[in-house]
Chain A
Amino acid sequence: MGGWRVLDPSRVSEAVEELAARASLELPKDVESAIAEALERETSSLGRYALGMILENAEVARREGLPLCQDTGMFHLFVELGEGVALPHSFQAAVDEGIRRATRRVPLRSSLVDLPIRERRDRGDNTPVRVHVSGGGPEGEARLTLLAKGGGSENATSLHLLLPGEGEEGVRRVVLEAVRARGAQACPPLVVCVGVGGDAGEALELALRGLLRPVGERNPRGDLARLEEELLAEVNATGIGAAGLGGDTTALDVHLQEAPTHIACLPVGVVLGCHALRRSTALL
């Protein structure tokens, strides 16, 4: 165990502050390219108006240092630990300190409230960050990916507890139902993320992690890659369109992931990511 390195809390705070600032101000390249390509193909005039405005917004945000969206979101930090790296006991506090500093520095909107049932008191600092830890990082390092998720698209998340026999048809049905019912509210063009399997919580977690996969990248399993492509075509055939204004661009991509589940279960989590897909990654 002599070779283990524990991450330094102050470096964690610095990294998280930097990631939060970058994610809030800079649309990731893969997302921006996908929107630009969609604009080339778009046949609806209002669709082109919306897509053009979205691209111009990315430019203004970068140039002026203004957050891409006024809803600067709830923050998630995904930590992939490599062999030989461990987290300090104060990891959550260090992550929260990073977000607190980014909130002051950018500045970000304070979007989290305490006492959600009645008082809904503004917390002021966007903490706590939801931390998700897994393995899979490069040896000797930790890969940190920060994701900012807006409330409008969060309200479009859904969980569908299907019967095992409903199979692929059931999965297609609930994904399309979710898009039809809530897609227009979630700031399309969307990245539709689907998690199938696990328990209810894991299905939603798998779906959420779909937002981390680059837009345009397929599931490595051929059958799931095909399902993603077919679902993307069906989602775009709804005609909801960019900003819900109609047209060919309802989604930029569909990301689907599977996990083992119980013999009695077929849970499906659906997360509709908005076009301001804010994520940023660093190695520590």
Chain B
Amino acid sequence: MAGGNGIRVATPLTREFREKVSAGDRLLLTGGLITARDQAHRRLVEALERGERPPVELRGEVVYYTGPTPAAPGRVAGSVGPTTASRMDPYTRRLAEEGIAACIGKGPRSPETRRVLAENGVLYLVGIGGTAALLGSRVRALRLLAYGELGPEAVYELEVEDLPVLVAYDLKGGDVFSHLARL
């Protein structure tokens, strides 16, 4: 089963674990994550810039760039796949400085963001874009944390079991997208 293999690991992702894994490693994540995409990033960073405490604790978190579909009646979650990570690049330095442990998105980031992530010990993980039904089926609980008026762009807390992701940028300079820079 394609979505079934990988190194099983529980969140929070320790510094030791983050330093050990390499770009291209397949992981199966279990535990808590928070979601944030464009509008939530904008609000979190604006709050931090104003010197306010954001409504969610960021330190040590795994931030999943996703805007889920609503859950059908009787289900925990709908489809929950990664969105294009480079749109979060302008906000990533601030969140990295707040101490997030990892982020999950899809596709390559800017060289600047790749540097910022490594400097702050943040892993960049990717899910396979467009596999949101499979990824959503690994969500065991979902709860609204902040910015509910943003609908799909709100911040949710997810509890996942064996969420298949790939290490895209490790902390040693490894990059699964390095072939794209040579195009």
Contacts and interface: CB of A to CB of B under 8 A. Distances in A.
B166 A49 contact: yes
Interface of B: 1-3, 24, 26, 39, 66-72, 78-81, 83-84, 86, 106-108, 126, 128-134, 136-137, 149-153, 164, 166, 176-177, 179-180, 183
Given A70-B79, A70-B81, 14 more contacts: A50-B128, A56-B134, A66-B133, A66-B137, A68-B79, A68-B133, A69-B132, A70-B66, A72-B79, A106-B69, A107-B72, A109-B70, A150-B130, A241-B179
Given A54-B130, A68-B130, A106 B72 contact: yes
Interface in A187-237: 187
Given A67-B79, A109-B67, A240-B180, A56 B107 contact: no
Contacts of B166: 46, 49, 245
Given A46-B24, A111-B152, A274 B177 contact: no
Interface string A57-73: 11011001111111110
9 contacts: A49-B166, A53-B2, A66-B136, A67-B78, A70-B69, A70-B78, A71-B132, A72-B79, A106-B72
Interface in A117-172: 120, 122, 124, 150, 152, 155
Nearest to B6: A49
Contacts, number: 153
Contacts of A241: 179
Interface of A: prevailing SS: loop
A69 B81 contact: yes
A185 interface: yes
Nearest to B66: A70
A60 B136 CA distance: 10
